[in-house]
Structure 1
Amino acid sequence: MMNARIEEGITPRTGKQAGDDFITVEGLGKTFSENRMFGSSGSAVRAVDGASFTVRRGETLALVGESGCGKSTLGRLLLRLIEASEGEVTVDGTRLMALSQGDMRNMRAKMQMIFQDPYGSLSPRRSISQIISEPLEVFGMVQSSRQRRERVAELLSQVGLSPTFMDRYPRQFSGGQRQRIGIARAISVNPQFIVADEPVSALDVSVQAQIVNLMQDLQQSRGFSYLFIAHDLSVVRHIADRVAVMYLGRIVEIGPKARIYNAPSHPYTQALLSAVPEPDPETRRARIILKGDVPNPANVPSGCSFHTRCPIAQDICKRERPKLAETATATATATEIGHLAACHFAKPMPIPVG
């Protein structure tokens, strides 16, 4: 988790005006079949279950939740790096599931990814110039060796690295520098949407703020949208415009960042936020300890999947799966509209201070 010193190093977000919807996700789901070897039952694992949301132009939608809840799978589904079992993703009016492999390859000039591991996502056998220029060559954006090197030099400068590094290899760089290289590769084709899959979780805490600030600066100058996947809610607070909370493959709450952090409606969101370290005892929240363990994703509980750990669960929670529904009151401001929670007893309320 980021401590107070690192949080102070992150540039506060300016008040951006969200644009129209660029990506629309409707009922997206992915089911994996378990390996039948070694006596496995072969039952299906529902990694993503009926995800529906939008990503607006120029905004950062953060996707948070415990490890194994399906965040990374959802990010890959949006780019069709893995194929969905059902549902639809529409990007700028184009239905992705209807595209051929060739057309989808062209669409990826609009959609790129920043991977979690800056060590594993860069080929050790290729120079930095070759790594960054590969997307440029695939999409025909450079016509000569000279043009390619000029473009790579420009991209390295934009991510805070010296152009003289282009002939070096990934092993010669630190984790933070490698992640900057990965970012340069992702932005090389001028995408409109980037899935950032836990882009700072593998980095030293002292470097995380630098990468977050870089991503914000690039977004302001280029105007693209992020799906920022993370489990560190301290990082999310600084980069997100809206936050979606995921539990066992389902989105259980989504809304404007201020609304999620100040008045969460779902008991799971409340528990997550109560675990965020607060250096100031006056603002420290009372810790909510959830009972039990996360259920086996191959055997998701009936009704609300959170009911086995929920402190306010009742009989209806075991029988009926709640739908995402508006939680804002009639007096909500414009910035609070669009706060949805999948809970039979959702009620926006501040987390009590301990």
Structure 2
Amino acid sequence: MSVLLDVKKISKTFVDTTLRMGPRRAPVRAVDGVSFQVHRGETLAVVGESGCGKSTLGRLLLHLIEMSEGSVIFDGQDMSALPKEDLRRMRQHMQMVFQDPFGSLSPRRTVADIIAEPMDSFGLSGSRKERREKVARLLEMVGLPASYMDRKPRQFSGGQRQRIGIARAISVDPSFIVADEPVSALDVSIQAQIINLMQDLQRQKGFSFLFIAHDLAVVRHVADRVAVMYLGRIIELGTKDQIYSAPHHPYTEALLSAAPRIDLKAKSNRIILQGDVPSPSNVPSGCAFRTRCPIATDRCAQERPELSQVEPGRAIACHYPQPFPISNQRTGA
């Protein structure tokens, strides 16, 4: 598969600029030198604990927030080098599905106006009649009747609202979609429906996904490859089978060991990490995971491990990578 998105050492540092008495908070390095590629038609899932920088990463890729360092090459073009108007046009090909289906839709607008907003922005709506016909087709594609187009978001459930958000995202035929925990706010009974819908649309239209999530069962169902983040850095990257069958980083092993198991009678080998996640404003020296790692040495405190390929398709940021076999019972196989 050819490369659609090439991310090169991007970083984002948030600085407290509020005016108030007392010392300002230390800068927060939310994303720290992240590099990876997304191929055409694939789903790359990004996983990690809350606060690890997943959502910030997704917004950086779409230039919804400005990066502090690095570059994003989309379809051969360096987005940071584009003039403002060219960057705006590029966004037609890069859309987002947000986590909160209740907060991401304007309560004052009709469903038709919400879905057609990207088309209006890029001059793709056509006449009023054509606009309504396009909205009707999009609603049908996401499993909603066309008669809903004149209603307001408050009249719909969370699952229905997320379908509307998906219709809005695909309305301009993007080639890349960032899905930021798109089912985490939904009932479990609805999550599978939304995931299946997104996969069906991906097969029909061929777009690529960056799928941000913390639910490892969902990730196993949707991902082709998985990137594991910890304190703003990718610490393991590999195919779904590589990650789920034998993670090579001790943090990935701990994440997978905590995933729900199908066989509740099976012996639990859950790994309980010691200590709390360090503050992103005070990241430990060397390896950021060393303060919680069971195999850390003095080298880990002194030298930061770089993300390096250890086998075809797999990269690890660890001085002592090793396979940690994980039972398939833990991850819903």
Alignment TM class, shorter chain as reference: over 0.9
CA distance in 2, matches of 1:222, 1:39: 53
1:198 CA drift (Å): 0.4
**Structure 2 counterpart SS, 1:27:** strand
Q: Comparing 319-328 with 35-44, which one deviates more in the overlay?
A: 35-44
Matched, 1:31 2:13: yes
- Check the 8 A contact 1:327/1:347 in 2, yes or no: no
2:3 to 21, 24, 48: 21
Are the equivalent residues in 1 in contact too, given 2:47–2:226 (CA < 8 A)?
yes
Going from structure 1 to structure 2, the CA distance change for 1:327 and 1:282 (only over 3 Å counts) comes to farther
In 1, distance between residues paired with 2:128 and 2:315?
Answer: 51
Q: How far, CA to CA, are the matches of 2:130 and 2:120 in structure 1?
A: 11
d(CA) in 1 for partners of 2:219 and 2:171?
25
- 1:255 has 2:230 as partner: no
Identity of aligned residues (%): 64
Counterpart-to-counterpart distance in 1, 2:265 and 2:252? 21
CA distance in 2, matches of 1:81, 1:32: 14
What displacement does 1:99 show?
Answer: 1.1
> 2-side partners of 1:198 and 1:161: how far apart?
22
Q: Are the counterparts in 1 of residues 253 and 324 from structure 2 also a CA contact under 8 Å?
A: no
1:344 aligned residue: 319
Normalising by the residue count of structure 2, what TM-score does the alignment of the two structures yield? 0.96
CA RMSD in angstroms, aligned pairs only: 1.4
The alpha-carbon deviation at position 137 of structure 1 amounts to 1.2
Aligned to 2:285: 302
- Confirm or deny: 8 A CA contact 2:179 2:209 kept in the other structure: yes
Determine if the alignment matches structure 1 residue 56 to structure 2 residue 39: yes
Aligned to 1:164: 147
Alignment deviations for residues 249-297 of structure 1 (CA, whole Å, 9 cap, x no partner): 0000000001000010011000000110102147665100000000011
Structure 2: how far apart are the matches of 1:281 and 1:117? 32
Distance in 2 (alpha carbons) for counterparts of 1:286 and 1:262: 15
What is the aligned counterpart of 1:115 among 91, 95, 98? 98
CA contact (8 A) 1:285 1:351 kept: no
User: For this pair of structures, how many residues does the alignment match?
Assistant: 328
Show the 5 A alignment for 1:316-327.
316-327=299-310
CA contact (8 A) 2:226 2:239 kept: yes
Q: Which segment is superposed worse, 41-50 or 208-217?
A: 41-50
2:195 pairs, out of 212, 219, 222, with 212
Task: Give the CA deviation at 1:41.
Answer: 3.4
| 1:42, distance to aligned residue in structure 2 (A) | 3.5
CA distance in 1, matches of 2:170, 2:244: 30
Indicate whether 1:226 and 2:201 are aligned: no
Residue ranges of structure 2 left out of the alignment (5+ in a row) = none
